[in-house]
Structure 1
Amino acid sequence: MTIQSLVSYQPTWQKMATVFQQSLQSQLGSNLINCSHVGSTAMPKIPAQPVIDLALLVKDSVPALTALRAEFVLQSVRTATYRLTWHDQAFNLLLFTDAHAYQTVINFRDYVNAHRTDSRKYTAVRKIALTTDDYYAAKTDFVTSLNGKASDWLATKDAHETHDRTVRAELVNMCLIMNPETHEVIVENKIDAKWTGLTFPGGHVDPGESQIHAMQREVLEETGLTVTNLKLVGTVTWVENDQGDVSLGTLYTTSDYHGELLAGSYEGAISWQPLSVLTPDKLAPGIEPILKVFTNPQLNEAFWGFDDDQLKVY
């Protein structure tokens, strides 16, 4: 059998496999117990040889082979592979009479599709195998090792998929508004007895509200300015409890605004200030690392884990 090079996944492979499976059902009738698209052409995240593999579970292989008129190409311990061409597309038919062996190739397909690291390893093994005299023998050991992992994974798959990863999230936001000529920024001097110091306009996202609309609304309410061309520069996350519930903040910058700046609001006095005066002793608690995310393009996140005592930046 000629071994071809690996090519990028083609969505038409799945369509061709589906249509041909319907044809096989007509040809084999009640002798066909089950049929599945398997192999690399059924794995969208990895390259494949442009030959579609179909696994066929039949009651009796003899009448199946008579009906299929396919060319024998490979014999392994638990199955035989046959090749035919249908509508100019090459197909490998893996013929099984053993239901357990048939399920093994299904499990392998599903495992590789669900595990990105092993799918990369499988691709690397196949590329090396293409340089050998026996492609299938060269990848047998690796496939066998994954078959064991696939069986173990399948046994606990339902438990993993039904595990509740849902956490409660409070959505907040903050904006650094900069004057493009003076490079001053708008700050609020918080007067809250529990949280005092300089900070930036921001607040909560209302239920059903978009992040951008919420940011524009908060800025307008607190400063009197209408901001546009908001640029998302990072996030800030506070993990609130050992269940993983979070306050998740989106951080925006802009130099596009219009309107009259308010002198202050119920939050505190509002003013333009140069970045140089925003020293840690003048900033509200926790704002210094957020300012780093605002102003350093190499930083993307400020994060406070449940057991942390300060925000960390990444």
Structure 2
Amino acid sequence: MAEIEKVIFMNMCMVYDHAGRVLALDKVGKSYSGTTFPGGHVEPGETFTESVIREIYEETGLTISNPKLTGIYHWMTGAVRNVGFLYKTDEYQGELISSEEGKVYWISGEEFLRKPLAPGMEQVWQMMHDDSASECLQTLTKNGIVSKIQ
């Protein structure tokens, strides 16, 4: 009989404009901090798309439309598999407002990559920009974190 894993579902969205800017979040938290894209946990009863729309609104004040699924990012924390669905969209409306999650602001892609990024954001960035990379599994080994991107 196969072992059953506990799974936690999350999401993240790269909101971008046509001037080469992305919406960045300087995340503040005990377990996860650094520059990242907004996102969060899927709540019971939500579709994954509903969840990412809600999370982006809660963390940025923007209402996004038509988020496109671009990849899956997952890793183990003990016996729990954390699965993050990665989206991107250039369709949004509203006024940008920071939240308790951290400061949100527009920044060029080049500047974003020079920021102190949250763990795994290099791989997330790659999947957002490379149509051939749609999944990343990160594994903690005795030699550090190993990323398998496919």
Where do 1:242-261 residues align within 5 Å? 243=79, 245-261=80-96
Match of 1:172 in 2: 10
Residue identity in the other structure for 1:227: I
Of residues 214, 217, 221 in structure 1, which corresponds to 2:54?
A: 217
1:196, CA displacement in angstroms? 2.9
Is the contact between residue 289 and residue 312 of structure 1 (CA under 8 Å) also seen in structure 2? no
Residue identity in the other structure for 1:272: W
Match of 1:279 in 2: 113
1:295, CA displacement in angstroms? 1.2
Residue identity in the other structure for 2:145: D
> What is the rounded CA distance, in whole Å, between the counterparts of 1:197 and 1:313 in structure 2?
22
Of residues 45, 55, 64 in structure 2, which corresponds to 1:227?
A: 64
1:306, CA displacement in angstroms? 5.3
Residue identity in the other structure for 1:207: P
**1:195–1:165: structure 2 CA closer, same or farther, 3 Å change rule?**
closer
> What is the rounded CA distance, in whole Å, between the counterparts of 1:211 and 1:265 in structure 2?
21
Are 2:143 and 1:312 aligned? no
Identity %: 32
Equivalent residue of 1:195, what SS? coil
Offset from partner CA, 1:228-278 (integer Å, 9 cap, x none): 11110100011223x5x300110001011111111x110111100110112
**TM-score, with structure 1 as normaliser:** 0.45
Match of 1:85 in 2: none
Match of 2:128 in 1: 294
Where do 1:21-100 residues align within 5 Å? none
1:284, CA displacement in angstroms? 1.4
1:199, CA displacement in angstroms? 0.4
Larger Rg: 1
Higher helix fraction (1 or 2): 1
Equivalent residue of 1:218, what SS? helix
> What is the rounded CA distance, in whole Å, between the counterparts of 1:239 and 1:280 in structure 2?
27
Offset from partner CA, 1:107-153 (integer Å, 9 cap, x none): xxxxxxxxxxxxxxxxxxxxxxxxxxxxxxxxxxxxxxxxxxxxxxx
Match of 1:187 in 2: 24
**1:193–1:165: structure 2 CA closer, same or farther, 3 Å change rule?**
closer
Is the contact between residue 26 and residue 33 of structure 2 (CA under 8 Å) also seen in structure 1? yes
Point out where structure 1 has 5 or more consecutive residues left out of the alignment. 1-162
Offset from partner CA, 1:152-210 (integer Å, 9 cap, x none): xxxxxxxxxxx13421100000000011x212110101222553321001000011211
Match of 1:208 in 2: 45
Match of 2:73 in 1: 236
> What is the rounded CA distance, in whole Å, between the counterparts of 2:22 and 2:70 in structure 1?
16
Q: How many residues are aligned here?
A: 148
> What is the rounded CA distance, in whole Å, between the counterparts of 2:5 and 2:33 in structure 1?
30
Is the contact between residue 188 and residue 271 of structure 1 (CA under 8 Å) also seen in structure 2? yes
> What is the rounded CA distance, in whole Å, between the counterparts of 1:280 and 1:309 in structure 2?
20
> What is the rounded CA distance, in whole Å, between the counterparts of 1:206 and 1:278 in structure 2?
29
**TM-score, with structure 2 as normaliser:** 0.90
Point out where structure 2 has 5 or more consecutive residues left out of the alignment. none
Larger relative contact order (Cα-Cα within 8 Å, sequence gap ≥ 6):
2
